[in-house]
Structure 1
Amino acid sequence: MELCFMDHIKSQPLWFLLLMGLGSLSVLKCSLVVLMWVYVNFLRPPKNLKKYGSWALVTGATDGIGKSFAFQLARKGLNLVIVGRNPDKLKEVSESIRGKYGQTQIKTVVVDFSGDLSEGVERIREAIDGVEVGVLVNNVGVSYPYARFFHEVDEKLLSDLIKINVEGTTKVTQAVLPGMIKRKKGAIANIGSGAAIVIPSDPLYAVYAASKAYVDQFSRCLYVEYKKSGIDVQCQVPLYVATKMASIRRSSFFVPSTDGYARAAMRWIGYEPRCTPHWPHSLLWGLAHLLPESVVDAWRLRFCLAIRKKGQLKDSRKKE
């Protein structure tokens, strides 16, 4: 039987054998991709972040993803430098963390990233002087209040988007990086957005998406520059998370809570230069890449136009 099968194969034309070979390679490649996806999402152990250093610095730590990151890092035994613009909220978060993880040392730094950034970053430098910051989470960011065309973006919003998302991430990294270089170890996680990477375009959020594309490329370049220095840099690319910034109150399978996202994100720090920690998001990413860009663009435009209409209606009610 086996000889008959081999004879049958040998009798086939060369083009048929080549197609069979290519088909087998494609199946093997797809199988390896699926196995790797399962491993990194469910089986790969997280890194021991304390090996990078005993302290972690988190920006935008008084709300949303940043606050959840702060709790998760404290849970892992790291001391914290938390950065935010509201001193009362910083105090509240600090007390909550200490109440749950009593051994955690916490430093707070008040920085309004839309204000005098140079002065704020100098305060961060002073706070981390002599402190072994091993993990940096650049989480601070701002988006549109709701979708709008580029010509409808006012000067204040335009300035905040660039200053907070681009300049803030850049300058905080510049302040923390020298200590990591000196110790030859460190991990940086910059929070990007699927708006810049996963979907081909994000109409009516143009400046936000572009600012997050900067974060992605900035992270990738630093990953290459400092990998041999013992510093792991990555851009985390979530899709929707239930936050005030996203105007989503309830979590779901595809929209994690901030705590759910932070728990997943902790498992990825120190690995790939770009990652999507919440695994259902990676399913949506795969689907987006299967569809033609024109189809995704058209769907996204309709979706964002609906958000714009709701936002305008809400604004008009406030004026009445």
Structure 2
Amino acid sequence: MVPADFLIATATVLGFVTLLKNLLATARWLHATFLRKLKNLRAYGSWAVITGPTDGIGKALAFELASVGLNLVLAGQNPSKLEPTSSKLRERYGPTIEVKTVIADFAKLTGEEIAAAMTGAMEGLDVGLLVNNAGMAYPNPTYFHEVDQQLMESMLRVNLNAAVWVTKAVIGGMLKKKRGAILNIGSGSSVYVSSFPLQTLYASTKAFMAMFSKSIGLEYEEQGVDIQCQVPLFIATKMTVLRRRPMLVPSAETFSRASVRWIGHKRQCNPYWSHAAQAFVMHALDGITVWYVKRYMEWTRNEGLEHDRHL
């Protein structure tokens, strides 16, 4: 075979292998997203612990997990929100589940105080699932030097400190029985774009969450504990800066249904189908994406400032 023919044959084979690899990856993703059956989450344990369960993703996940028969420990800072949430859960699911609440202001408690509060609330319970959902973002996109000192401290405590210490409080029991799952709610802002300006502190804390999850996931994968970080894009919740809900932005309830289907599969994932498709494009066009994000955040910041001036 002459060199030119050999090169053409080699290129053809490599192209075919690459195409086949991409087709298989797409097929696996389609199966996982739309066809794969939900795991029996009660096999991990009969109780799930959820932080930040009174709004948005946390509240939606509480109802979704209750629907599959898990008892719930709801950890939040606001008793006036925890009680209505727990009452609605009991009203909807009646005697099929139990609900406990624990008041814990993660923005004010030390790590040891968080661990003690959570350990006390879980005493005697077969906790099989932890959802680290509690999180904070800027009320509006903000340049780093403008971030209020109290807001900065609270964000670091809630987004970083709380997740670490709640995990510390829970994981020992999972290791003893050699089964359990931990779901950490991260953000696509820390994974699919190289920069996320005007939400710098938020995106940085979520980057920590992604690395924390992947690393401890490897530490404990052979001990029966599945640890996962989900990295969604925009979801229609109070924490996002969206003024209205675009077509490809799911509600918290829609996202939670997809989220639960991925628990126990992969150390990092983007569970909602349109988010996964958007993330692929964003990552491939990173320069354009970052430029757009900066312009969008600046526009949203100005809109917020204008709104505040008219209050």
Normalising to structure 2: TM-score of the pair?
0.96
1:195-274 alignment to 2 at 5 Å? Answer: 195-248=189-242, 250-274=244-268
State the match for 2:103 in structure 1: 110
Distance in 1, matches of 2:308 and 2:18, equals: 53
Q: Does 1:305 align with 2:298?
A: yes
Q: How much has 1:171 moved relative to structure 2? A: 0.5
Q: In the alignment, which residue of structure 1 is the partner of 2:289?
A: 296
Distance 1:201 1:276 in 2: 18
Within the candidate set 39, 62, 73, 2:54 is matched to 62
Structure 1 segments, 4+ long, off by >3 Å, are 9-12, 247-253
1:161 CA displacement: 1.4
Structure 1: segments with no counterpart, 5+ residues: 1-8
CA contact (8 A) 2:241 2:300 kept: no
Q: What SS does the corresponding residue of 1:239 show, helix, strand or coil?
A: coil
Tell me the amino acid that sits aligned with residue 68 of structure 2. Answer: K
* C-alpha distance in 2 between matches for 1:197 and 1:235: 11
**Secondary structure in 2 aligned to 1:181?**
helix
User: Which of residues 13, 21, 24 is equivalent to 2:13?
Assistant: 21
Q: Which residue matches 2:89?
A: 97
For the aligned residues, what is the CA RMSD? 1.5
What is the number of residues matched between the two proteins?
A: 309
| 1:192–1:212 CA contact under 8 A, matched in 2 | yes
Measure how far apart 1:120 and its partner are: 3.8
TM-superposed CA distance for 1:250, in Å, is 4.9
The amino acid of 1:106's aligned partner reads V
> Structure 1 residues 198 and 270 mapped into 2: Cα distance closer, same or farther (>3 Å)?
same
Matched-pair identity in %: 41
What SS class does the counterpart of residue 285 from structure 1 fall into? Answer: helix
Letter in 2 for 1:48: N
Aligned to 1:276: 270
Q: CA–CA distance in 1 between the matches of 2:303 and 2:67?
A: 39
Single out whichever of 205-214 and 250-259 deviates more from structure 2: 250-259
The offset of 1:10, in angstroms, is 9.2
Task: Find the counterpart in structure 2 of residue 171 from structure 1.
Answer: 165
**Deviation per CA, 1:91-114, whole angstroms, max 9, x where unpaired?**
111110011111211110001111
Which residue of 2 is the match for residue 38 of structure 1?
30
Alignment match, 1:161:
155
Structure 2 residue matching 1:199: 3-state secondary structure: coil
Residues 48 and 130 in structure 2, CA contact (< 8 A), matched pair in contact too: yes
How many Å separate the matches in 2 of 1:18 and 1:247? 50
Tell me the CA shift for residue 72 of structure 1.
0.7
What is the one-letter code of the residue matched to 1:109?
Answer: V
> 1: CA distance between counterparts of 2:182 and 2:2?
55
1:315 is paired with a residue whose SS is helix
Q: Do 2:178 and 2:225's aligned partners in 1 also have CA atoms closer than 8 Å?
A: yes
Aligned residue in 1 for 2:138: 144
**Is the contact made by 1:243 and 1:249 (CA closer than 8 Å) also made in structure 2?**
no
String of CA shifts for 1:68-118, please: whole Å, max 9, x gaps: 111111101010100111112111111100111112111100011111244
